[in-house]
Amino acid sequence: MSVGIVGIVGKSVLNEATLPEVVAALAAAASGHDADGSFPYEAFDLLWRHGVLDLVVPAGLGGGAAGLETAVRVLVDLGRGDPSVALVTALHLLLHSQMAAPGSVWPQVLRERLQRSVVDGPALANALRVEPELGTPARGGMPATVAERQADGSYRLRGRKIYSTGAPGLRWFVVYARTDDPEPLVGQFVVDAAAAEEGGWRIEPTWNHLGMRATASHDVVFDGARVEADAVVDLRPADAPAGYDPVLMAWNALLIAATYHGIALAARDWLADYLQRRVPSGLGKPLATLPRFQEAVGRIEAKVRTSTRLLADTARRIDEGVELVDACADAPLVKLTVTNNAIEAVTEAIALVGNPGLSRDNDLERHLRNVLCSRIHTPQDDMILVGAGRAALADGTGGR
């Protein structure tokens, strides 16, 4: 961590000119957190001090009021340093973008409580939706987690959420659950981890994955955690369709894609440095001088430059509202293209350097494990392709 970062006192607004220092600090700690699966608490204090965590909070509440294009650019940078930190940040920003969106389903008092908390400190938030039996709600089904009504109008949560990204560092659990009514309602129940009484919830350390290890996406078990009556969002009949906001879906797709694009850029940078430094004794000059390696790096460069442009242009169109319907329809396809480009870029780098690329002594091995995780995020590739195919077949023009 640089002297400049250590010397920061209090919180500042985002200054993208200082992001390279932040990225360098994240990168320096990334391998250690990856090795032991530890959660990088210090990273989020750093991001808060640099104005990243409240990046999309409205300016009137002290936030950065940034749009999608800025958020994408920042997450690409964070992904270059530590994609686990970037992913936790992406999901946190996604939730705050939902709160701040026009026509938000979040009650104003509750919304502002969470927004002010992250202006005042590194109060991370994430939606906890996935369950052992349900899987991801994106593919349908009723949550097993139950919100039991209490006489005073509050609720008690009971159930288990898996793949709870950033669990140890979260201040706010936004839990997808159903009520215990004869005809259940479903909604999001907000637990303040800092205020919840002891025994109402616990983290079970189950996260032992190949990649994105520092996300510490452990199980969170709720055993009577109290949720106040005014801390419930979008409570509705279980068979009522959930509100679909294409702009928020586009934010989700592009923030996830940006995180993994950062890995591809980090791998490209590692490869370029390696080829410049590697001088085989039989050659007498760097591998970077050979046309075969130049061509291979050129293929990687074509992928990452294409992804950079797709992310920036799509995010800008959404911010500006230019052909908004088309831009939102493009976002899932951009996610698919960018994440697959990232996987291909890293695997091509591995193939090019051979054994050194698979050594745990080198960052490229970690980039490979991390980038493979891009395939699991909603919407998955099959959902994206089916949706695009249906739109194209509906009128032969891709819905345009």
Same domain, 322 and 278: yes
Q: Which of 336, 345, 340 is nearest to 267 (CA)?
A: 345
Same domain, 282 and 381: yes
| Block mean pLDDT (10 aa), the chain, length 400 | 36 86 97 98 97 97 97 98 98 98 95 98 97 75 94 97 98 97 96 84 97 98 96 92 86 98 98 97 95 97 98 98 94 98 98 96 97 96 95 72
Domain boundary among 193, 220, 237: 237
* pLDDT of res. 334: 98
The answer to whether residue 94 sits within a structural domain is yes
Give the separation between CA 288 and CA 292, rounded to whole angstroms.
Answer: 9
Same domain, 291 and 325: yes
DSSP strand pairing (124-128 vs 219-227): unpaired
Give the separation between CA 26 and CA 146, rounded to whole angstroms.
Answer: 38
* pLDDT of res. 7: 33
Give the distance, in angstroms, between the CA of residue 345 and the centroid of all CA atoms in the same chain. Answer: 20
Amino acid at the residue 302:
A
The answer to whether residue 208 sits within a structural domain is yes
Domain boundary among 211, 237, 263: 237
DSSP strand pairing (170-179 vs 185-192): antiparallel
* pLDDT of res. 2: 29
Same domain, 203 and 281: no
Tokens standing for 232? 């419930």
- The CATH number of the domain holding residue 342 is 1.20.140.10
Q: Which of 101, 133, 117, 17 is nearest to 63 (CA)?
A: 117
* pLDDT of res. 397: 60
Same domain, 269 and 386: yes
Phi-psi region of 321 (alpha: psi -120 to 50; beta: other; left: phi over 0): left
The answer to whether residue 45 sits within a structural domain is yes
The answer to whether residue 400 sits within a structural domain is no
Q: Which domain, by its residues, includes 372?
A: 246-395
* pLDDT of res. 12: 76
Number of domains forming the structure of the chain: 3
The answer to whether residue 364 sits within a structural domain is yes
Same domain, 318 and 358: yes
Instruction: Write the CB contacts of 198 (distance below 8 Å, at least 6 apart in sequence).
Output: none
Instruction: Write the CB contacts of 291 (distance below 8 Å, at least 6 apart in sequence).
Output: none
The answer to whether residue 231 sits within a structural domain is yes
Contact 326, 374 (CB under 8 A): no
* pLDDT of res. 399: 53
pLDDT digits (tens, 9 = 90+) for 140-159: 678 999 999 999 999 999 99
Same domain, 195 and 334: no
- The CATH number of the domain holding residue 183 is 2.40.110.10
Same domain, 103 and 158: no
The answer to whether residue 155 sits within a structural domain is yes
* pLDDT of res. 199: 75
Give the separation between CA 105 and CA 298, rounded to whole angstroms.
Answer: 46
pLDDT digits (tens, 9 = 90+) for 196-210: 766 799 999 999 999
What Cα–Cα distance (Å) separates residue 48 from each residue in 83, 89, 118, 217, 280?
Answer: 17, 10, 8, 21, 45
Phi-psi region of 399 (alpha: psi -120 to 50; beta: other; left: phi over 0): left
| Rounded (10°) CA dihedral 210, 213, 215, 217 | 60
* pLDDT of res. 79: 98
Domain boundary among 103, 122, 141: 122
Give the distance, in angstroms, between the CA of residue 128 and the centroid of all CA atoms in the same chain. Answer: 13
Same domain, 152 and 227: yes
Same domain, 142 and 80: no
Same domain, 217 and 301: no
